[in-house]
Chains A and B, each alone.
Chain A
């Protein structure tokens, strides 16, 4: 632990803490919408880190990751809404979200154990869609998910007297609902990041990477590749489940529409753009890909009016255009991602 205590890292931690603390208040100056965007960024950090375990560490290309997000979201929605009349507290539900998603991770992972690369991607893509379609159709004969209408009036998080849906006064500061969620999310995010960092440099993390590099060699030195791969699916899915639960609570509403294929692809893009397998890179990717489109959404329209006096291109379509261009450029000029791990960077330099 001594390396944490040298003055430079201590200063770094202090600066980062201060910045994270100030961020929601700075964002609030532009309106609460920006705080919500921040919250989404953190939520995507969760998802990207979870997917990074499967894709980045274990090298299993999973295109159906959003399924676990959906499972978590629906577990929360069902246990804390008038739909079944259940109103459990969030700290009970979140571990259940993680556990149920984990079970789904193992269930969906086990048939794919012998598949690799493209084939694995296609099967997981299918699973992602299957889960979404189930959510869409499980309103008959027994109404479980309320079908395409989704589940509404989901309880917001509340800790003791703090209701996260309302503004409240703490130590003389007015803290809005989204700002409270922000702090809750930051605490959980720090936990998730620590878990990821520790797993990466552990016996299990090394076994994942060994499977990614060469599955046959991994088997030959005694790694039970079946169990270790399932563990990767399970761990990744648990993070997705937690993120889903929080998503439900912040939105107050879930429907199958939120869990389409494009979500899986966005999360994968975050992992790949940021730097596969490198935790700081993945965090950067998640934050960039959540915040930048929003900046474009709010910035492009006014900018066009200012420049040309009229709106030439609909901001929404321009957003996807710029997003696609950014992807192409990054893959062309930074193939290892924006912030790859030092090893990957060195390898690309040496490999030429």
Chain B
């Protein structure tokens, strides 16, 4: 069995009286595509936000690559190698597509104020490398011809792709995609599937939150189902699909 990359241990999160997450434990193995599904309001995004440090869990915690993940520092989660996209796309709208990806390199580069002011050789080299990597990633997600357009002016599908490129720029070992196929038509979803598959084949583990059950079942190696903030089942898609509790959660008992 492959090594565990991320382990959630009894993660709990309450909003007032609502138990958004109730002792959720699951583990993601290195190199797999892991699906997280559940009806609306099941706690999927809350789980994401706890993991990436945007929310502080009320109980439990995460272990990433063998060491605990600090709960309260989003930028440290990124530095550790967790990158994410957002359910409602959050790009830097008034920056170009290229700049968006270049910002993604921030956490893997060092250039400071003095390097920038005096434009030292090291800074110039780093800047050139950032730009080169951004071009590569834009090419990788196939929006290189939109590089100089403002992110906000890109089409919906291209914005999703740009967000993935920006996340990849941080060199994540775990890429978390929050409903990447939302609002996409069949062709776009198919393209997205091959993109996600490609990213996995290049060595990045993927955590996928998705409503499109067909996409999840076709793409994921393992799937976890959340309902009312609790984990229902964690298994391979063929088993999950037939599970009575999952059918109930989705169709209503």
Measuring CB to CB, which residues of chain A are less than 8 angstroms from any residue of chain B?
194-195, 198-199, 202-207, 209-210, 212-214, 216-225, 231, 235, 343-344, 346-347, 350
Contact = CB atoms under 8 A, between A and B. Distances in A.
Contacts, number: 112
A221 B78 contact: yes
Interface in B86-129: 86, 90-96, 99, 102-107, 109, 111-113, 115-117, 119, 123, 126-127
Nearest to B84: A220
A230 to B, nearest CB: 12
The winner among B111, B116, B123, B166 for most chain A CB atoms within 10 A is B116
Nearest to B53: A219
A210 B92 CA distance: 6
Contacts of A210: 92, 95, 103, 106
A195 B117 contact: yes
A220 B52 contact: yes
Given A209-B103, A221-B166, 15 more contacts: A195-B117, A202-B111, A203-B130, A205-B116, A206-B99, A206-B103, A210-B95, A216-B86, A216-B90, A218-B92, A218-B103, A220-B90, A343-B94, A343-B96, A347-B94
A222 B170 contact: yes
A76 B113 CA distance: 25
Contacts of A219: 53-54, 74-75
Contacts of A344: 94
B116 A203 contact: yes
Contact of A217 (B53, B77, B86, B109): B86
Contacts of A206: 95, 99, 102-103, 106
Given A213-B92, A214-B90, A214-B92, A223 B116 contact: no
Given A202-B123, A347-B150, A221 B103 contact: yes
A220 B54 contact: yes
Given A195-B117, A223-B75, A223-B106, A343 B150 contact: yes
Nearest to A214: B90
A198 B90 contact: no
Contact of B116 (A204, A213, A217, A225): A204
Contacts of A223: 75, 103, 106-107
B146 to A, nearest CB: 13
A222 B127 contact: no
A204 B90 contact: no
A221 B113 contact: no
Contacts of B96: 343
A347 B93 CA distance: 10
B79 interface: yes
B95 A222 contact: no
B153 A203 contact: no
A254 B86 CA distance: 52
A203 B99 contact: no
A209 B84 contact: no
Contacts of A224: 75
B193 interface: no
Nearest to A205: B116
A347 B119 contact: no
23 contacts: A199-B116, A199-B117, A202-B115, A203-B109, A203-B116, A205-B116, A206-B102, A206-B106, A207-B103, A209-B95, A210-B106, A213-B91, A219-B74, A220-B74, A220-B77, A223-B75, A223-B103, A223-B107, A224-B75, A235-B113, A343-B95, A347-B150, A347-B152
A103 to B, nearest CB: 16
B79 A222 contact: yes
A213 B113 contact: no
Nearest to B163: A217
Interface string B152-164: 1100000000000
